[in-house]
Structure 1
Amino acid sequence: MKMSPERGGAEGKEEGSRMASAALPEAEAVQPRNKGNFKYAFTCALCASMATIVLGYDVGVMSGASLYIKRDLQITDVQLEIMMGILSVYALIGSFLGARTSDWVGRRVTVVFAAAIFTTGSLLMGFAVNYAMLMVGRFVTGIGVGYAIMVAPVYTAEVSPASARGFLTSFTEVFINVGILLGYVSNYAFARLPFHLSWRVMLGIGAVPSALLALMVFGMPESPRWLVMKGRLADARAVLAKTSDTPEEAVERLDQIKAAAGIPRDLDGDVVVMPKTKGGQEKQVWKELIFSPSPAMRRILLAALGIHFFQQATGSDSVVLYSPRVFQSAGITVLIDGLFG
């Protein structure tokens, strides 16, 4: 039996109407992003990312302070270069220590540790009376920088909703550059002081932003992932409810974290006993990640490691650290004389 075009067209319209009607409740079920939750997650990420200011400040302030240090302490070029470049080695040690500390006491407390260590290092450098004491201050400062650059992006990623995670984790790099700017401002602000005092104030004043950071951290929640690792599901659920776009996302994020922590999906309560894991299980995870990752994970690793490697390979920190001395060697003495007054 042949169907007329008019009848076929009418039935097609009816079918389209039924499909649209069926899709309408589903579309209405999609909830818009909770702006209040986004603001809360934004604030938490902002506060945590401010920890990386300490790295930028040290790089920026040392570029100008080095001129005064060399003149005041009468040190050689080699000693000066060691003092300026050794921070990266100390920061590497601090990042390894910070990783263990953050798993032990939590991400938030680790940020406080980072701020406290950097504050101590800044004061040691500010009150240094000789090169040896200055190097001790550099060591302590480097450990604090390592703690900060490790924990800030970890906390930010763990507290951020999926829709804004990439945006919020970029704050760590933003605040490194803010710190460099503050270091330059410090150079300019205290350049008119006597040269034996100016560099001490430039370095010592770095304790102020790190001390303020330590106070701000107490208004931040703990990382939901760390809370789950400690079996505190109720606390993790509360944090996720405040930092997720929708209630459904909060539930999904909690399930994913529980699965990663080895907690059965049906195990639900305010506080649960974490399943015991064998000592070699963590090593096995690292082996799989490094030696036999999935194709998707391999691309992620290459992108992440490649970006950071080539960023440092450009020597951008060296340009910042040595630019005043480069200007001086190039014969641009007006700016240098202006710094020294």
Structure 2
Amino acid sequence: MANMQYGFDLAAVGSLQAMPGFLKVFGYPDPTSDTGYAIDSTVQQLITSLLTLGSFVSSLVAGVFSTYLGRKYALWLACIVNAIACGIQIGTSTAGVLYLGRLLLGFANGFLVTFSNIYTAEVAPAHMRGVMVALFAYWVNIGSIMGAVVDNKTKERLDALSYRIPLSCLYIVPTLLFVALFFVPESPRWLLHRGKEQEARKALEQLRGKSYASLLASAGNESGDEGSVVPTLLEVEWVEMIKGVQEEKREQGSVSALDMFRGPDLRRTLLCYGMIGCQTASGVWFLIGYQTYFFTVCGITKAFEFSIMNTCFGFLGVNVGMYAISQLLGRRSILILGAIACGLCQLASAIAATVSPDTLPTGQTLVAFTALFMFFYNGCVGAASYPVATELGARYGYIWAASNLCCVVFFYFFMPEMKGRSLEELDEIFAARVPARKFKSYQTVIRVAARIDAANAKGVSQHIEKA
């Protein structure tokens, strides 16, 4: 739900800049424009970039907030700030106040995206974490489709309701999320870090349910060996989680924030930054923030409808990508494939705009390759980061084609395959400085030790029950 809100906002607000009703309030008359109005490029860029600035500010305080209050309270706070921000944007007719609303909404979205994905990564079973976290892109696209559809329904209005209706819809998801959080347990890992072991165990059991049976236990039962002691996956995960938290606490006294730039943690930090940088380098933020407006400027008559189509292509890509991640390819191969495809799409758009600018065939080419780009980006690369300005027109594709090539090199040589690994296992592998190409085959000590300890614990329990 949190990520759906993020997608709705991106699509809805990005398309507002092509609405006459919005441009009458925040733009200026322009007889040469098809809509009769235009918008200053500074206003246009601030509307988009202040959302990112708000997200950046939220990231600075997210660590301290989550350490003491947890993931659920952070999401509740985000829902409240979102309501305030939407009220400001709906009620104002001044650009300066609109900027404040965008900044606050960026803060709320930053908390929504950050803590929903942290929570998902912490509570998902290791073998499902890739798919679960990939739901980020899934729900962002659902929200984007809804935002684009709402804008398409209100675009013909010439009054303030043309943009106030889409902004009012931004209340829906946070309201549902605020209520739903009462029925969601806190992250077991966070509870363990706070010394609440009983609550952590209860939360893990609630999350896993009765279906979390071990394949190892099933194999032991089928063998007919009643004396064999085989732990359930729940016990293995629980012991592994405890061991990981204990190891972190053991080192906590000598750890500072600067340690993220030292030793084995430096590699993890650079990989995180590199991954986010590659998302931006794909060029997706130009399309997310400006595609409807860009289509309008290029003379495409059904700009809103094509934006909906491209969002649907992105949603299709997410579904294909999630299946490929879980069943066919790992994260590393998907990233390489996505960067190559996105780069080629950007290059094709740039060449078309260079060879035959401002023509109908070029416009059709831009729409087609934008749709393909959204498919491969959402299916392979994922969410994006900072927005890009629009001054270069369609020739911007040359820049993004080159940057996507750089992404391919980065993914191939530096991005390890982490499919099926628990967070505790990843800690051990990075600490051991295992090369990226050997991640997949590396056997971790913590997983073996967790199975032994869980088996011993179950064996003692069985003997007590027999006695």
Structure 2 gap ranges (5+): 28-38, 213-232, 308-467
Query: Which residue of 2 is the match for residue 191 of structure 1?
Result: 155
Q: 2:49 aligned with 1:97, yes or no? A: no
Distance 1:176 1:161, change over 3 A: same
Partner-residue secondary structure (3-state), 2:175: helix
**Can you list the C-alpha shifts for 1:35-90, whole angstroms capped at 9, x where unaligned?**
xxxxxxxxxxxxxxx21222211110112112233332235222222122221111
Whole-Å separation in 1 of the counterparts to 2:235 and 2:303 = 58
Instruction: Give the match for residue 25 of structure 2.
Output: 72
**By how many angstroms is 1:306 displaced?**
2.6
Candidates 300, 303, 309, aligned match of 2:277: 309
Q: 1:253 maps to which residue?
A: 240
Alignment of 1:165-184 (within 5 A): 165-184=129-148
Q: Indicate whether 1:207 and 2:207 are aligned.
A: no
Q: What letter matches 1:73 in structure 2?
A: F
Tell me if structure 1 keeps the 8 A contact 2:191–2:200.
Answer: yes
Q: Percentage identity across aligned positions?
A: 22
Partner of 1:328: 296
Match of 1:292 in 2: 263
Do the aligned partners of 1:126 and 1:204 also contact (CA within 8 Å) in 2? yes
Specify whether residues 60 and 335 from structure 1 end up closer, same or farther in structure 2 by C-alpha distance, changes over 3 A only. Answer: closer
Q: Post-superposition shift, 1:305? A: 3.3
Counterpart of 1:41?
A: none
What letter is aligned with 1:121? A
- C-alpha deviation, 1:233, in angstroms: 0.6
What is the distance in 1 between the residues matched to 2:234 and 2:161? Answer: 56
Amino acid at match of 1:253: E
Alpha-carbon separation, structure 1, partners of 2:133 and 2:45: 32
Shift of 1:204: 2.2
Structure 2 contact 11–145 (Cα < 8 Å) conserved: yes
Contact 1:191 1:198 in 2 (8 A): yes
CA distance in 1, matches of 2:264, 2:18: 48
Task: Say if 2:58 and 2:110, in contact at 8 Å, map to a contact too.
Answer: yes
- Which of 185, 202, 211 is residue 238 of structure 1 equivalent to? 202
- The alpha carbon displacement at 1:196 in A equals 2.1
Greater mean deviation of Cα atoms: 119-128 or 329-338: 329-338
Task: Establish whether residue 147 from structure 1 lines up as the match of residue 111 from structure 2.
Answer: yes
Size of the aligned set, in residue pairs, is 271
- Report the Cα offset of residue 334 of structure 1: 5.1
- Distance of 1:338 and 1:250 partners within structure 2: 46
Match of 1:51 in 2: 2
How far apart, CA to CA, are the structure 1 residues paired with 2:269 and 2:41?
38
Cα deviation digits, residues 12-48 of structure 1 (max 9, x gap):
xxxxxxxxxxxxxxxxxxxxxxxxxxxxxxxxxxxxx
**Correspondence 1:89-128 to 2 at 5 A:** 89-128=53-92
Q: Which amino acid aligns with 1:97?
A: V
What is the CA distance between 1:313 and its match in structure 2? 1.6
C-alpha displacement of 1:122:
1.7
Structure of greater relative contact order (alpha carbons < 8 Å, 6+ residues apart): 1
- Write the letter of the residue equivalent to 1:317: W
1:220 CA drift (Å): 0.3
Tell me how large the CA RMSD over aligned residues is: 2.6
Q: Tell whether the 8 Å contact from 1:225 to 1:257 is kept in structure 2 after alignment.
A: no
- Decide which moves more: 313-322 or 70-79: 70-79
**Deviation, structure 1 residue 337:** 11
Amino acid at match of 2:274: G
Q: CA deviation at 1:157?
A: 1.3
Q: Is the 8 A contact 2:15 2:304 kept in 1?
A: no
- Give the counterpart letter for 1:310 in structure 2: C
Q: Distance in 2 between matches of 1:189 and 1:99?
A: 40
Highest Rg: 1 or 2? 1
Q: Tell me the CA shift for residue 257 of structure 1.
A: 4.1
Cα contact 1:122–1:204 (8 A) shared by 2: yes
Structure 1 residue runs without a partner (length 5+) = 1-49, 264-274
Give the TM-score taking structure 2 as reference length: 0.54
